[in-house]
Amino acid sequence: MASKSVAVETPRPWRAAIAWMALVLGPGFFLVYGLCNELTALRNEIGSFFFDWERRIPVLPWTIVPYWSLDVFYAFSVLLCRDRLELDRHALRIVTAVLLSAGGFLLFPLRFGFPRPEVDGLFGPLFEALHGFDRPFNQAPSLHISLGLILWYLYAKNTRGPWRWLLHGWFVLIGLSTLTTWQHHVIDLPAGALVGAIAFWLFPDPRPETVGKTVAYRPLGGDRLAGRYLAGALLGLALAVQGGYWLLFLWPSLALGAVAVAYAGVGPTIFRKRGGRLALAASWALAPYLIGQALVWRGYRQRMALPFGEVSPGVFVGARLDRREALVFAAAHPRRLVLDLTGDFTEAASLREGDYVNLQWLDWTEPSPAILRDAAAYIEMALQQEKTVFVHCALGYARSARAVAHWLVVTGRARSLEEAIEQVRAVRPGIVVTSKRLACTPARGFA
């Protein structure tokens, strides 16, 4: 008789969930939020940041209901978590959002810019309760928005069908209610969304490896670039503390600070790239840096005659391809391996569909012996399987050139690294690989 396997459902962490809410998330929120209000009230001059047209946003008394409803979603959210990992990550996102927002409230204090109207009738008591607890401070970033995103994500994972669409609509109302109850100005909303994105970026859900293989390597020799990015971050912070529109520099300051940490030793894991795609939260949190990178890439690509060249039969080396170029390459080479050496770009969808390997190596850093060994092994294995190989970095001038040159040497296709580099240079004339860099490259062997 054939035996049947029965899946055993892991019991939900009820006790841990109640402990998180009763001991940390509940009292912690009220303590931190209230303390920020009290400390800000002691300051003499508190500015405001709003646009004149915001005075024409109507007060809609009924929207106090979705506004207050976030508290209910907040209280019961921990009970939805299926296991301890999900619970802890959810709770840590909330803690992160509260603490980052508190830092914003205290370092860049703002108040609501014009008097709030008196609301009578059915919804009047709800407004009175809100104003009794919440002073006109704690504006940017909007904690209502950041917590709303965190809660929205969790509840959406646990609803299906029409209920899910109803949930989406309700959370949109919660977001809009921050304006129609005159609790926040417009600038507070994207600031709150950024805090939410940072919380997801720091504590992401584990993502299964559904496409290819991903390995991130810690950088070597990135200290100088780390210092430059740190200087940029400090400059942005110095501008942000001037207040007003200068506050907008806080976002690039945070992004450059994170990149400085990556080059200082943490590596490309800060971009949360898996299966060839950057995590959405990382894309938002690091958007100023990523937009800059994309503009630089586009500028160089427009001046580039050909994006890749064939350095050896079946082995192409070059730059990251755009969507159209990737479709053409994929159609021309259905049996292929794409070896992506970038950690801060999303790979074109058509190139992720075949065999895809992402060995993440920060630009302008030295390669570790491991990444050169692994790259060479993947190239040789693919060739033995009669596949075309495309090795690329962002522009095809440094990382991909060194990886392919190393493969040429260790497989005997070149007698020295200098000869290998010249072979690559013949098809990629713009490569930037100096003799100093070659001296750091291991000469032979897969192991």
Q: Which residues are catalytic?
A: 393
Q: Is 230 exposed, middle or buried (0-12, 13-18, 19+ CB in 10 A)?
A: middle
CA dihedral 324, 330, 332, 333 (to 10 degrees): 160
Closest C-alpha to 329, from 360, 358, 357, 352: 352
Continuous segment of H or E residues that includes residue 295: helix 287-302
Q: Return d(Cα 139, Cα 134) in angstroms, integer.
A: 11
Contact 340, 211 (CB under 8 A): no
Q: What angle do CA 185, 180, 102 make, to 5 degrees?
A: 40
Q: Are 216 and 268 in contact (CB under 8 A)?
A: yes
Output phi, psi for 315, to 5 deg: -120, 115
Rounded to whole angstroms, the Cα distance separating 308 from 310 reads 7
Task: Kindly tell me the number of DSSP H helices and DSSP E strands found in the chain.
Answer: 18, 8
| Cβ-contact 318, 309 below 8 angstroms | yes
Q: CB within 8 A of 325, min separation 6: which ones?
A: 307, 348
- Report the C-alpha gap between 262 and 249 in whole angstroms: 20
Q: How many residues does the chain have?
A: 447
